[in-house]
Amino acid sequence: MDENQETEENSLEIIDRETAASYISSGGALDKISDAFEERPVQIELLKCITDAFNNNLLGVYEAGTGVGKSYAYLIPSVLWAVKNKERVIISTGTINLQQQLCEKDIPAVEKILGKKIKFVLMKGRQNYICKRRLMEAASVLDLFEDDTEEIKRISDWAEESSTGSKSDISFMPSENAWTRVNSESDACMGKRCPFFNECFVMKVRKQAADAAIIVVNHHLLFADIESRMNGSGYDDAAVLPPYRRIIFDEAHGIESAATSFFSESVNRFKINKLLFQMYRKRKGSESGHLCSIAVFSKNEEKIEEAYSLISKIKSDFVNLEIAAKDLLAKESTMRLCDSTARSFGPFLVSASELAVSLGNFTNLVHLILEGVSDEDKSVPSYWESKIILGRLENYVILIKNFSMWDEKRQNVYWIQKKRLPPDLLKAGEDLDYVTLTETPLDISSLMNSGVYEQMSSVVCTSATLRTGRDFRFWCGRTGMLYAEQSRVDCKDFLSPFPYEKNMFFVIPSDAPLPDRPEFQQWIEMAIPRLIRAAEGRTLVLFTSYESLKSAYKSATGYLKGFGGLLMKQGDDDNAKLLEKFKNDNESVLFATDSFWQGIDIPGESLSQVIIVKLPFTVPNDPVFTARSEAIEKRGGNSFMELSVPEAVIKFRQGIGRLIRRSDDKGVVTVLDRRIYEKRYGINFTLSMPDCKKCYEPLDEICKKINGFIFQ
């Protein structure tokens, strides 16, 4: 922190922790306006800790169990701080659901509690908003041959009426293709030169953000802002967000995966072909695309002639690259470029270099054509569209070149993956299989430390699942908190006030085969329907593999003939709709995988049993996971205990956390994976659970007990 900041820090006024706590204490403002108020000592404690984090410039790591009421516990100090010190606070979440809850329910409630109006805004990435200029251009050149003509018209009609311009407010789901033709993009924004500047949706939300005391964002957008600051914008001026020095990370268990996905880059033939098609295409001898439109304004117009042959070269280079990749992959679906595979990657890397050269030649050509456009002609829409495409193509060139330099860039993981196109998307002459090249950061901890913790005056990270076993070491290590100045770090856990010992029953069938046995799948296909009957439906079955889910679902539909409740599986419908049906039909059952392990909220009787089929270990052929494991082994650690187990524990805790959402919720967690009791590492899972009644008996006994527990 520089001298100026220190002076500013000194002039900040602290907030009184007792006054802050009084708002949610008995007799306080919340008590007066809420009929169902019950003082929660644990919430008051958390609020005081967060207040201290603001006052003393701390890095708070606070695990708050379900029902602690963490949003009031951080919103009240955040608002008090922002108002008193005129210093905005960023609240970053992992899911859109939580953002909506904060903006539609919790912040308005905090306004009532504090008796003050607060300026706050929900800010999304600019790609989520319509760009009026691009929309006008797209609508004015509707091409009968383009698939998205109808959609652009519908988006255009909607934008006329919309007050937000935000994609989430459109009543239909626009396709990726149509949306990316009309959304806002930083490279294509003309800023003050734009004729729509004064009515621009992005500029409107930016103005609101510049004025706001509280800005709600998602982790992705926050990382986009941090990246831009680390790349030179600094921390004192506006970048993607206005400047700030205080962050609250809610759903902080997801920081590592959000940062990993934000800082990853990938490319495949569709991504490149789509951009090339927008730049230049030749149909029946007639040329079109942005390059043609812009060339007439460029003094380098003659360069356009090279475009056609360069594009053909890029396409054939990509075909060669895919052939080399498929030879390399053979029957595997993914492969990482590392010491043990480097030799076999040889032919692939030769093809990659050729592709990088031809793609680089094409971007140089576009540069030359753009450079030849005079300042007066730069308002031509194709000029700005070409700039977006050029930026993306240049990123792909860097990514492809980085594959050849992997040995010097060991801070990243380089890997290829073979995927299959759905047959209905296949065009004549195209190969069903395609290959994606991906670069992913190996570790985000130093980036978090230098880009976030060292720069911010205070950071509070909270979630219901940060601990593994009894401590925070795993989460702190993965997210860089272990490398931050330790005198600033404050880790605490705040236990759920819900009566788990009375309301939750944890069962494991002792006669289940171990999951690595061949008979395991057959056994679970017999056991799951019996467990469902024991709970009379009301069950969420969580799988770690979609194949296993599909097979178990098929068996269950046979076993459960005549069963009254709805039997659903992930993939049958939109996730939100499945969830809605599940909530509305008390006896329904849902077979689900990944996205249902966390973030879903089903209070009440419709969820009385969560079945966890297997402990959620990451599959060992995940290339990023393998690279991270190897890095641990290399420094002498034990990757199973330091990475596999703790990652699985956090996911397991998220899974069981779906069950009890209110103090009067009651139900059973059934784990079909006996390793939790029989392997030494199982203790890490059981220690991370709330205290509750447990049972380890054969399936027959367990089914009786489940029924008795739920319906007693």
For ligand SF4, the binding residues (CB under 6 A) are 131-133, 184, 189-190, 194, 196-197, 200, 202-203
Q: Which is nearer to ligand SF4, 126 or 269 (CB)?
A: 126
Q: Which is nearer to ligand SF4, 200 or 321 (CB)?
A: 200
- Minimum CB separation of residue 99 from ligand SF4 in Å reads 22
Q: Which is nearer to ligand SF4, 124 or 133 (CB)?
A: 133
Q: Which is nearer to ligand SF4, 88 or 133 (CB)?
A: 133
Q: Which is nearer to ligand SF4, 132 or 418 (CB)?
A: 132
Whole-number Cα distances in Å, 529 to 505, 506, 509: 19, 18, 14
- Per-residue DSSP letter, 441: E
Measure the CA–CA gap between 230 and 409, rounded to whole angstroms.
19
Phi, psi of 645 (to 5 degrees): -65, -55
DSSP string covering 522-573, please?
HHHHHHHHHHHHHTTS-EEEE-S-HHHHHHHHHHHHHHTTT--S-EEETTSS
Whole-number Cα distances in Å, 351 to 49, 357, 371, 415, 519: 56, 10, 30, 15, 45
With CA atoms as reference, report the closest residue to 440 among 594, 646, 647, 257.
Answer: 257
- Minimum CB separation of residue 190 from ligand SF4 in Å reads 5
- Minimum CB separation of residue 143 from ligand SF4 in Å reads 21
Q: Which is nearer to ligand SF4, 168 or 557 (CB)?
A: 168
- Minimum CB separation of residue 230 from ligand SF4 in Å reads 24
Q: Residue 615: CB partners within 8 Å, gap ≥ 6?
A: 515, 648, 652, 671, 673, 675, 676, 685
Q: Which is nearer to ligand SF4, 37 or 196 (CB)?
A: 196
- Minimum CB separation of residue 200 from ligand SF4 in Å reads 3
With CA atoms as reference, report the closest residue to 401 among 361, 362, 349, 363.
Answer: 349
Q: Which is nearer to ligand SF4, 83 or 190 (CB)?
A: 190
Measure the CA–CA gap between 145 and 627, rounded to whole angstroms.
45
Measure the CA–CA gap between 113 and 80, rounded to whole angstroms.
12
- Minimum CB separation of residue 93 from ligand SF4 in Å reads 25
- Minimum CB separation of residue 240 from ligand SF4 in Å reads 13
Residue whose pair of structure tokens reads 């149909």 in the numeric block? 283
Q: Which is nearer to ligand SF4, 200 or 213 (CB)?
A: 200
Q: Which is nearer to ligand SF4, 140 or 487 (CB)?
A: 140
- Per-residue DSSP letter, 217: E
Region at 79 (left for phi over 0; alpha for psi -120 to 50; beta for the rest):
alpha
- Minimum CB separation of residue 195 from ligand SF4 in Å reads 7
Residue whose pair of structure tokens reads 């929309």 in the numeric block? 135
Q: Which is nearer to ligand SF4, 129 or 434 (CB)?
A: 129
- Minimum CB separation of residue 369 from ligand SF4 in Å reads 21
Is the Cβ–Cβ distance between 513 and 675 less than 8 Å?
A: no
- Minimum CB separation of residue 387 from ligand SF4 in Å reads 11
- Minimum CB separation of residue 211 from ligand SF4 in Å reads 18
Cα radius of gyration rounded to whole Å, the chain: 28
Q: Which is nearer to ligand SF4, 228 or 334 (CB)?
A: 228
Element (H, E) at 79: helix 70-85
Q: Which is nearer to ligand SF4, 113 or 239 (CB)?
A: 239
Q: Is 346 exposed, middle or buried (0-12, 13-18, 19+ CB in 10 A)?
A: exposed
- Minimum CB separation of residue 180 from ligand SF4 in Å reads 14
Q: Which is nearer to ligand SF4, 202 or 279 (CB)?
A: 202
Q: Which is nearer to ligand SF4, 210 or 357 (CB)?
A: 210
Q: Which is nearer to ligand SF4, 58 or 203 (CB)?
A: 203
Q: Which is nearer to ligand SF4, 192 or 343 (CB)?
A: 192
Region at 562 (left for phi over 0; alpha for psi -120 to 50; beta for the rest):
left
Measure the CA–CA gap between 486 and 478, rounded to whole angstroms.
15
Sheet holding 609-612, edge to edge: 567-569, 589-592, 539-542, 609-612, 667-671, 504-509, 693-697
| CA dihedral of residues 173, 177, 182, 184 (deg, nearest 10) | 90
- Minimum CB separation of residue 670 from ligand SF4 in Å reads 51
- Minimum CB separation of residue 441 from ligand SF4 in Å reads 29
Q: Residue 577: CB partners within 8 Å, gap ≥ 6?
A: none
With CA atoms as reference, report the closest residue to 19 among 111, 113, 93, 154.
Answer: 113
Phi, psi of 398 (to 5 degrees): -60, -45
Q: Residue 121: CB partners within 8 Å, gap ≥ 6?
A: 205, 208, 209, 212, 214, 215, 216
- Minimum CB separation of residue 389 from ligand SF4 in Å reads 15
- Per-residue DSSP letter, 471: B
- Per-residue DSSP letter, 474: H
Are β-strands 504-509 and 693-697 bridged in parallel, bridged antiparallel, or unpaired?
A: parallel
Whole-number Cα distances in Å, 629 to 479, 618, 625: 16, 11, 6
- Minimum CB separation of residue 185 from ligand SF4 in Å reads 8
- Minimum CB separation of residue 194 from ligand SF4 in Å reads 3
